[in-house]
Amino acid sequence: MSSRTRDRTNEIGLEFTDYKGQPTTLCQGCGHNSISNQIVQIAFELNVRPHEIIKLSGIGCSSKSPAYFLGMSHGFNALHGRMPSVGTGALLANHHLKAMGVSGDGDTGSIGMGQFKHICRRNLRMVYIVENNGVYGLTKGQFSATADEGLELKYAGYNEFPPIDLCQEAIVAGCGFVARSFSGDPTQVRELMKAALSHGGTAVLDIISPCVAFNNVDHSTKSYTYGKKHEVPLHDIGYVPKREEIMIDEYGPGEARSVELHDGSHIILRKLESDYDPTDRLGALARLEEALETRELVTGLIYFNDERPSLAEAAGLKDSLPALAHLPDEKLRPSRKKLDEVMARFL
Amino acid sequence: MSSRTRDRTNEIGLEFTDYKGQPTTLCQGCGHNSISNQIVQIAFELNVRPHEIIKLSGIGCSSKSPAYFLGMSHGFNALHGRMPSVGTGALLANHHLKAMGVSGDGDTGSIGMGQFKHICRRNLRMVYIVENNGVYGLTKGQFSATADEGLELKYAGYNEFPPIDLCQEAIVAGCGFVARSFSGDPTQVRELMKAALSHGGTAVLDIISPCVAFNNVDHSTKSYTYGKKHEVPLHDIGYVPKREEIMIDEYGPGEARSVELHDGSHIILRKLESDYDPTDRLGALARLEEALETRELVTGLIYFNDERPSLAEAAGLKDSLPALAHLPDEKLRPSRKKLDEVMARFL
Amino acid sequence: MGVPQPTTGVAPDAGRQQEQRVNDFAIVVATANGTGSQTSNLTILRALFKMGIPVNGKNIFPSNIQGLPTWYHIRVSKDGYVARRETSEVLVAFNQATVNQDVQELPSGGICLYNDDWRSMPERDDIVMYGIPVNEFLREVGARGKFRDRFTNMIYVGALAQLIGIELEAIEEALNYHFGGRQKIVEPNMEVIQLAYDWAAENLEKRDPFRVERMDETEGLFLITGNEAAALGAIFGGMTLTAWYPITPSTSVVDALTAHLPALRNDEEGNPTYVVVQAEDELAAIGMVVGAGWAGARAMTATSGPGISLMAEFAGLAYFAEIPAVIWDIQRVGPSTGLPTRTSQGDVTFAYHLGHGDTKNILLFPANPKECFEFGGTAFDLAEELQTLVLVLSDLDLGMNNWMTEPFDYPEEPLKRGKVLSADQVDRNWGRYKDVDGTGVGYRTLPGNEHPLSAYFTRGTGHDERAVYSEDPDKWVDNMARILRKFETARQIVPGPVVDEAGAAIGIIAYGTTEPAIEEARDRLAAEGVKTDFMRLRALPINDEVRNFVERHDRTYVVEMNRDGQMHGILQLEMPDIATKLLSLAYLDGMPLAARWIAESLHAMEKEITG
Amino acid sequence: MGVPQPTTGVAPDAGRQQEQRVNDFAIVVATANGTGSQTSNLTILRALFKMGIPVNGKNIFPSNIQGLPTWYHIRVSKDGYVARRETSEVLVAFNQATVNQDVQELPSGGICLYNDDWRSMPERDDIVMYGIPVNEFLREVGARGKFRDRFTNMIYVGALAQLIGIELEAIEEALNYHFGGRQKIVEPNMEVIQLAYDWAAENLEKRDPFRVERMDETEGLFLITGNEAAALGAIFGGMTLTAWYPITPSTSVVDALTAHLPALRNDEEGNPTYVVVQAEDELAAIGMVVGAGWAGARAMTATSGPGISLMAEFAGLAYFAEIPAVIWDIQRVGPSTGLPTRTSQGDVTFAYHLGHGDTKNILLFPANPKECFEFGGTAFDLAEELQTLVLVLSDLDLGMNNWMTEPFDYPEEPLKRGKVLSADQVDRNWGRYKDVDGTGVGYRTLPGNEHPLSAYFTRGTGHDERAVYSEDPDKWVDNMARILRKFETARQIVPGPVVDEAGAAIGIIAYGTTEPAIEEARDRLAAEGVKTDFMRLRALPINDEVRNFVERHDRTYVVEMNRDGQMHGILQLEMPDIATKLLSLAYLDGMPLAARWIAESLHAMEKEITG
Ligand SMILES: Cc1ncc(C[n+]2csc(CCOP(=O)(O)OP(=O)(O)O)c2C)c(N)n1
Ligand SMILES: Cc1ncc(C[n+]2csc(CCOP(=O)(O)OP(=O)(O)O)c2C)c(N)n1
Ligand code: SF4
Ligand code: SF4
Ligand SMILES: [Mg+2]
Ligand SMILES: [Mg+2]
């Protein structure tokens, strides 16, 4: 980002700094900080209105980060592993809000596994970022369920168990937007985040985000060095906002594929891996499986499917309706006549 | 089973009735009862020593059933969704025990999802039966997470959400023995159970077990009628106990495949579906995916892989060691000298 | 202290049987679960009610779907007593599995209707036996399959009606009600009933004193379960989100919500103004409620014991981050899974302190359907006014059984949405957790508020008045002191106690569904010369009235349905200087308390004290 | 009641500074988190200890991994006081972010070592400032990268040592201890220290009275954290399974287990006689403990507030199904996530009643590492003897800070494994839940028992004496009454209170880590003419001694670190007739209680009472 970006205001008259949060209290070099920065930037670039966003998280270093971006948006740092349920309540209470959720691999893959699976199944419309570092950062470095099998770390010791693949988990649970990225690849992170914000259901971003304090040894798949060396992007990604639709044609056909998102914007995927089709559920699972074996960090939009209604839609909360939270008393209390009618039925 | 079976004693001198439990209190015709009966029978046939088995369950109609089989085995009807953790503790306390666990689709797929995934990941050696009926039987018929999308039931109403496939979930979580069956196919249920008992890690049996009270409409994939019509067995299954190894040769090669299990017994799979390979993880996921789309009830040993150590093995609890629960005091309390040594280090 | 145990099986009033017993006895119907006998039993209950006779029905059912014994108790009371009677004089013995015990429990002089096809029946010469040839009837009406069970149950309705004098018109009305007027179902049932009715007229010779007679005591009243009333209360109280996980006996709260919401709360275009989500477990259910409460919805869940345990962590968050949330706890017997289909008041202490650390929650105690309806809205008002968790402690007896009630009052007061700032009300001075008026309650903003200064970050960690993270010791102390101030504010605005006082030396304090038994016990005691005053608590924390009541009386008994005298303990802590004036009468066996137990226990303790 | 608030910042004893202050002051080291200053601070602590001077160190750290302010308090006390001092006379100001506040909090006459490279320093003329040219040193030793931080911290060690007289040999010993004798690490650190030491000798002119001098008061003692002591206690107490989920401040219990187990508990062939499982969350952790306890293991978990909330449902199961289980609750500040790195005694009430329904759990309260070690085994003994859940309530201050301790006593008593029947002891009369001896505790069998009658079905639902499912009301009552009997049995076998009594009119009751502050406060009060007796509780439920103590005294103050006076309430309920003799002194701001607060608060209340 050029220093010019930082100075100018965006189309809704906000400055870059308006999208910042409190100064971070995370470690210097922590991947999570980089991700927070990308959120600030895309919000600025997309002319996001801060009050239309809520920030959600569970507990952990990662889950602290919503304090460090979008200071003008309401935020809720909930309980360990329980961001999904809190998000479900909040987004049903006000289905016009967009949610930017940040969780950790411990928060999502261990204590939060159940809620994570069920939010995917219900297709709650929110961006669900997992800042995945293979350890519990905030409690000082124990292995999480995404740690490499056989990894040995100074504090955590030796890991006996195979890693859980959160992208596979999301896909199997019915999630329609599943991406993986690397905090060391900010460009890709940004494009994926933008697309995720435009998606009409749960959008899971599993972002490898190295913990420099506890899991940054070179052979760990969650380290910077490893990520830098082994990242395999499936495609080049470009996000095109709705109002710039016209530009889509600029992307030559053939090697690039354009996918329309819920809000009318598009994501352009320029294939790097020739036969990868992100709309093929099994193919996606297979590619993840392969990457697990080869220890590659495949990144990109791994699976996409926007056929299922979001939870709010399934609940009948149409876009045109006011938020439940803002309904006036008249809508909340049936008339006296109705009460009489109901009681009459009991007589 | 012939009436003769019921009379005679097995090789360890127990009668068939010795393997029974209390009379069932479940509904007449409930699939769960049929499964209990198969457990009684295989225990009898396999000459199981009742005290070497523990019965485990969560909460639900299904979870009540351990009271109705193996009355001479210790049992623990735990909390809703928490059978896996209780089982983990019990089987680490005494790693010589074998566990027969019975859960429901609510117990496993909803409240128990997290523990279910993590028991698979840790590969706790136990038989984990899900008596899957797509509803919460005991609370009178609400949809569970395995209910068909779009299903309409008298009490539960209309189901908006796609079903969770517990076999896929188990596979993705790292489970090495994943089977599906149908309570209306007792022969297959029995052979799979026997093999599961011989497996060296978590063995998940997802058994469709119709709830005659709340989910038995013909078009529900969890009903009897549907199961009878749409069951697609992947193979004929035969279990061969260790001491009868010699018989294996009787199965002609080519169309049959023999897999050796942890305890030296074998399972013989005579292919019905020509190219199905239960050791191919992706193939298994794919076949399940296909079945989900075609609404087929594919049954059989869907995935098998016994390469990972069980949790007890990973914890260093070798078969040759006595159970932790039975260690004598001398093993449990280090000597006075050791205490002095430890304290000396602090000086 | 020697609290006498309830006796079962022996009628305290056996002996004085031979006078006519009109509208003053109890009926028990013994059947097997899952046979549809609920319909028959409710029909009897409703028919009696339609005859103008005060009634109450209590279903004593097993934790099972089909086949285990279940008992339905109907109390018929010209005096309007609706508490549980331990003894029933009229037994409908239609479950062979329990008939021996059932007959044994009949008081001398009692009557027993039974299925005459059974080979053997227990013998007693001090009761009256009426056998009914069930199979013959079934053959006659040609019932097959599941209809056998259903019709069998209608047979005892007809025979009983004849025997004790229930009017057939009342029964037909009741059936009409039950089946929503669908004649196709009503008619064949009425046919069976009529058949049995006529048969009984011809074949059974009345040899007992139990009879019902039309009265005029139920005019304007109706029958409803507490859970359905609670659901209606929530609907008229502006509920916008319910998240829940099935658990007996709370499930029917949500069933009733789902049944009534479309008609009552879809807007003109048929769009919902609410959402009901079945969560994957109780942790998720309460999480959704807290998320929704934070975002401005009136959100609730309904659960029971095990669910309360699982909600503890979120309860603490709601308390500490000050988020409105409502939990209906339809209490069943704990600890643990306990007796899932039996009633209790056993969660009081645990709910009061739900969540680790220093936590004090607001509790409401409805005693009847009317209060369930009322508290359906009050709970939201309090949660939003005080920005905290409110737990409504109902119980299985109230929630799942049918109670007579006066019509519900339409809520006149507007919804109390508490201190919420709109975009044009926010300014630089605002701080989320500032106590600007001494109530302890700060102003909040909702997500979506367009004012650039309206955003704040909600957390369960230490924070200052502006919701900024803080580990500062003094800020922690100040914040927690302010939260405690809210509890003091609550004392003044929660529903106060209901008092029935006439200068007696002895007081009784209770809460929730023990009320009818206590009222009956007081009458009994008064008849025996022991006068009592009565205060029924409707909420915690209490206000000064309670202390004054205790001070005014020599002794006050706290009556409740749990083992440990939980409310008794809470009250003692509220008034340690007069703690010994509070005596505990606590008992829990899963059955609703009976007047006899209360009266006898209190009497016994009085004797011990006064010598 | 007007409990005075702790004052911060002003030294109560400022003024009388100019005499020599030998071995009687406090040091505070202000640094940033994650810079490795822990090593330096522990080195100072240990060096002082090695000089024979009574010390105590308290780490006041943020909930963060790197960069936020942290303070390490070292109290040096010739009189052996180890409680927290609110004021420290010696400040090592090595965190620029907090230096203003840190300097401001120094008492008049205090001293400040600071980094002389900083541009500006707050000015005060009533303190002594010693600037150290840190960058110059770092250049000199050529420190780069992360070594800069580490060496910076060693610089203040050296300078401080010179200034107040810590012996270099003691420091070297301490470093040797810390780095396990690895000279490669010790040497470069010693080099820096020596450099700073020498520099200070030449460049800093001592202008203050604070000095340490060798004593002989720590001979035979050692320094250890409560959590490490707890782990050792569990290891010598026969722990066979630990299942846990990371949470501050309990994590180091398990870290210590993992560190010590292989050497102490692998058998001759190197096979483990234990297993430690990191669970996926606290629900699973306690589930594993309960499963293991059922199967015969000595199983435990360690957690803190939020974990306790999540364990509520299983706690109720362990209580009701009567399964031995041990939870170490290393208390931090709640409600909710609260202050994760601050200490409290806030979970008492919640833990006591953990689980819905009528539940009463056994609680142990260790006050020092020696008791942590002892209770490591006692908790298992009690859990197995009483077949129930035992919670050990330690706290962050005890668990994570280093305390001087006498050597631990080797446990002489054999493990108490409780009533377990082997295969040859089972017979037809046996019933799992039969009370055969009036203690309430039945005999259990373990899975794997070969006797054909030994099997039973464990459940959280109602059951009879033979563990058969039952909804029978009387059976429920009997069973719950028996379980309550176990609680009465517990009174006699849990660790009794420790009493220090000499006929004073005023009593103090406390528990856990408030003890040192209370002892110091009592000395202060005695000096002011207020004599007190002291009883320290070590467990709930209490025995008669406690009541007798309260009876013997005019008034008894219950001192504790929570907002609501939780133990005070519990004790009042145990003795309602004398409830008003119990007064509450409760305060929680996350810092360990200080003697000053206790003494002043008690004094103030005494004045109010005695007029
Ligand atoms: C119920 C509960 N259990 C445990 C904790 C302690 N805890 C705080 S953060 C954390 C793990 C965080 O790991 P992860 O989600 O991977 O986040 P990271 O710090 O690695 O970014 C744990 C276990 C807690 N706060 N609450
Ligand atoms: C914590 C908790 N929540 C809810 C319940 C109520 N409950 C009992 S069984 C059950 C569902 C059982 O469904 P499933 O596991 O599918 O078993 P099924 O009865 O269908 O065999 C529920 C929700 C409970 N016992 N505990
Ligand atoms: S500990 Fe790890 S995850 Fe936490 S802030 Fe530091 S680098 Fe990031
Ligand atoms: S309700 Fe359904 S699951 Fe339960 S016992 Fe009956 S048929 Fe089986
Ligand atoms: Mg992590
Ligand atoms: Mg089910």
Report pLDDT digits (tens) over D494-504.
Answer: 999 999 999 99
C125 contact A CB<8A? no
Rounded CA separation C606/D8 (Å):
55
Residues of D in contact with C316 (CB under 8 A): 306, 309, 334-336
Please state the rounded mean pLDDT for residues C499-518.
98
Residue that the structure tokens 């988990």 belong to: A169
- pLDDT on residue C18: 60
Instruction: Say how many Å lie between the CA of residue B213 and the centre of ligand 4.
Output: 6
Q: Using 50, 70 and 90 to split pLDDT, how confident is the model at A3?
A: low
Closest CA to ligand 2's atom 12: B60
Report pLDDT digits (tens) over D292-328.
Answer: 999 999 999 999 999 999 999 999 999 999 999 999 9
Instruction: Kindly give the pairing relationship between strand C325-333 and strand C299-303.
Output: parallel
Q: Using 50, 70 and 90 to split pLDDT, how confident is the model at A5?
A: low
SS3 B88: helix
Report pLDDT digits (tens) over A55-91.
Answer: 999 999 999 999 999 999 999 999 999 999 999 999 9
Check whether A330 has a pLDDT greater than 60.
yes
Residue that the structure tokens 């991700």 belong to: A35
Please name the member of D309, D339, D474 whose beta carbon is closest to the beta carbon of C313: D309
- pLDDT on residue C4: 41
Residue that the structure tokens 């500062």 belong to: C472
Among the bound ligands, the one closest to the CA of C317: 1
**Touching C: D residues 307-326, CB under 8 Å:** 308-310, 312-313, 315-317, 319-321
Q: Using 50, 70 and 90 to split pLDDT, how confident is the model at D143?
A: confident
Among the bound ligands, the one closest to the CA of C334: 2
Pocket test for ligand 2, best of B25, B132, B139 (most atoms within 8 A of CB): B139
**Touching C: A residues 93-122, CB under 8 Å:** 93-94, 96-97, 114-115, 118
Distance to chain D for B84, nearest Cα, Å: 8
Task: Kindly state the percentage of chain D with pLDDT values over 70.
Answer: 97
- pLDDT on residue A250: 54
Backbone torsion region of residue A252, taken as left when φ is above 0, otherwise alpha when ψ lies between -120 and 50, otherwise beta: beta
Which atom number of ligand 2 is nearest to the Cα of residue C246? 23
- pLDDT on residue D148: 84
Q: Give residue ranges with CB within 6 A of ligand 4.
A: B 26-27, 30, 32, 61, 133, 137-138, 211-214; C 65-66
B66 contact D CB<8A? yes
- Return the HEC string of chain A: CCHHHHHCECCCCCEHHHHECCCCCCCCCCHHHHHHHHHHHHHHHCCCCHHHEEEEECCCHHHHHHHHECCCCEEEECCCCCHHHHHHHHHHHCCCCEEEEEEEHHHHHCCCHHHHHHHHHHCCCEEEEEEECCEECCCCCEECCCCCCCCEECCCEECCCCCCCHHHHHHHCCCCEEEEEECCCHHHHHHHHHHHHHCCCEEEEEEECCECCCECCCCCCCCHHHHHHHEEECEEEEEECHHHHHHHHHCCCCCEEEEECCCCCEEEEEECCCCCCCCCHHHHHHHHHHHHHHCCEEEEEEEECCCCCCHHHHCCCCCCCCCHHHCCHHHHCCCHHHHHHHHHHHC
Cβ pair C246:B113 closer than 8 A: no
Q: The whole model's pTM is what?
A: 0.97
Report pLDDT digits (tens) over C96-149.
Answer: 999 999 999 999 999 999 999 998 899 999 999 999 999 988 888 887 777 788
Report pLDDT digits (tens) over B172-206.
Answer: 999 999 999 999 999 999 999 999 999 999 999 99
HSE-up of residue C418 (Cα within 13 Å, Cβ side):
31
Among the bound ligands, the one closest to the CA of B106: 2
Contact between B123 and B171 (Cβ < 8 Å): no
- pLDDT on residue D150: 84
Check whether C65 has a pLDDT greater than 60.
yes
Which atom number of ligand 4 is nearest to the Cα of residue B215? 2
Contact between C171 and C157 (Cβ < 8 Å): yes
Report pLDDT digits (tens) over C302-334.
Answer: 999 999 999 999 999 999 999 999 999 999 999
Neighbours of B181 (CB within 10 A): 32
Residues of A in contact with B286 (CB under 8 A): 282
Cβ pair B314:A161 closer than 8 A: yes
Burial group, residue C148, by CB count within 10 angstroms (0-12, 13-18, 19+): middle
Residues of C in contact with A329 (CB under 8 A): 238, 414-415
Report pLDDT digits (tens) over A197-235.
Answer: 999 999 999 999 999 999 999 999 999 999 999 999 999
Cβ pair B331:D408 closer than 8 A: no
HSE-up of residue C405 (Cα within 13 Å, Cβ side):
24
Of A241-245, C281-285, C606-610, the poorest mean pLDDT is in A241-245
Rounded CA separation B119/C459 (Å):
32
Rounded CA separation D473/C588 (Å):
8
Report pLDDT digits (tens) over B240-270.
Answer: 988 765 555 555 545 678 889 999 899 888 8
- pLDDT on residue B259: 87
Q: Using 50, 70 and 90 to split pLDDT, how confident is the model at C13?
A: very low
Calculate helix-pair angle for D146-164, D168-178, nearest 10 degrees: 140
Report pLDDT digits (tens) over C156-172.
Answer: 999 999 999 999 999 99
Instruction: Kindly give the pairing relationship between strand D55-60 and strand D69-77.
Output: antiparallel
Which atom number of ligand 3 is nearest to the Cα of residue A26? 5
Measure the CA angle with vertex A268, ends A263 and A270; round to 5°. 165
Check whether A2 has a pLDDT greater than 70.
no
C258 contact B CB<8A? yes
Q: Using 50, 70 and 90 to split pLDDT, how confident is the model at A249?
A: low
Q: What is the mean pLDDT of chain C?
A: 95
A61 contact D CB<8A? yes
CA end-to-end distance (rounded Å), chain B = 71
Interface residue ranges in chain A relative to chain B, Cβ cutoff 8 Å: 110-114, 117-118, 121-122, 145, 160-162, 164-165, 168-169, 172-174, 281-282, 285-286, 289, 308-309, 314
Cβ pair C278:B143 closer than 8 A: yes
Strand blocks (E) in C419-553: 420-421, 444-445, 457-459, 498-500, 506-511, 532-537, 539-540
Burial group, residue A279, by CB count within 10 angstroms (0-12, 13-18, 19+): middle
Contact between C157 and C43 (Cβ < 8 Å): yes
Q: Using 50, 70 and 90 to split pLDDT, how confident is the model at D7?
A: very low
Q: What is the mean pLDDT of chain B?
A: 93
**Touching C: B residues 131-190, CB under 8 Å:** 136-140, 142-143, 145, 157
Instruction: Say how many Å lie between the CA of residue A226 and the centre of ligand 3.
Output: 17
Report CA A254 to chain centroid distance, whole Å: 29
Please state the rounded mean pLDDT for residues B15-23.
96
Please state the rounded mean pLDDT for residues A311-334.
97
- pLDDT on residue A1: 47
Residues of B in contact with A164 (CB under 8 A): 117, 121, 173-174
Neighbours of B275 (CB within 10 A): 8
Please name the member of D292, D415, D455 whose beta carbon is closest to the beta carbon of B89: D292
Distance to chain C for B233, nearest Cα, Å: 31
- pLDDT on residue B148: 96
Instruction: Say how many Å lie between the CA of residue B136 and the centre of ligand 2.
Output: 6
Partners of residue A315 on adjacent β-strands: none
Residues of A in contact with B117 (CB under 8 A): 113, 117, 164, 169
A92 in contact with ligand 3, CB cutoff 6 A: no
Residues of D in contact with B76 (CB under 8 A): 291, 294, 457-459
Instruction: Say how many Å lie between the CA of residue B166 and the centre of ligand 6.
Output: 13
Q: Using 50, 70 and 90 to split pLDDT, how confident is the model at A347?
A: confident
Please state the rounded mean pLDDT for residues D441-462.
97
Rounded CA separation B268/B254 (Å):
12
Which atom number of ligand 4 is nearest to the Cα of residue B29? 7
Neighbours of C388 (CB within 10 A): 27
Closest CA to ligand 3's atom 2: A211
Structure tokens at D320: 């009701």
Pocket test for ligand 3, best of A24, A28, A30 (most atoms within 8 A of CB): A30
Rounded CA separation B322/C496 (Å):
63
SS3 C392: strand
Report pLDDT digits (tens) over A254-275.
Answer: 567 888 999 989 988 887 777 8
Contact between B189 and B38 (Cβ < 8 Å): yes
Cβ pair C306:D313 closer than 8 A: yes
Structure tokens at D367: 């006050």
- pLDDT on residue D14: 42
Cβ pair C295:A334 closer than 8 A: no
Residues of A in contact with C292 (CB under 8 A): 89-90, 92-93, 324-325
